[in-house]
């Protein structure tokens, strides 16, 4: 059998573990957003904002990620 005639691996076997994990996380994120579309009131100091719950949680997650990166960066020095 030459390399020209060698069977190609199946599509599912060509997907890496990281790609599978990313796909699962994307599906979970879509399900999370679909289930958390209710609008909530957020009170911060004197400001009240109405926003979907998933957006509020996403913003808080991003703030925490940035804080973690800044702390990690500071610890390396």
Condensed to tens digits (0 to 9), the pLDDT of residues 28-63 reads 988 988 888 889 999 989 999 999 988 888 888 889
Beta strands in 1-77 (DSSP E): 39-44, 47-52
pLDDT of residue 27: 92
pTM of the complete model: 0.57
- Interatomic CA distance for residues 58 and 29, integer angstroms: 10
62, 63, 64, 66: CA torsion to nearest 10? 80
Confidence of residue 17 (pLDDT cuts 50, 70, 90): confident
Mean of the per-residue pLDDT values for the chain? 83
């Amino acid at each position: 059998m030459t390399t020209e005639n060698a069977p190609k691996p199946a599509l599912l076997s060509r997907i890496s573990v990281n790609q599978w994990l990313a796909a699962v996380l994307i599906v979970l994120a879509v399900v999370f957003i679909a289930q958390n579309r209710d609008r909530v009131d957020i009170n911060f100091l004197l400001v009240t904002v109405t926003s979907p719950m998933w957006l509020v949680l996403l913003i808080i997650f991003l703030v925490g990620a940035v804080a973690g990166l800044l702390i990690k960066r500071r610890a390396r020095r």
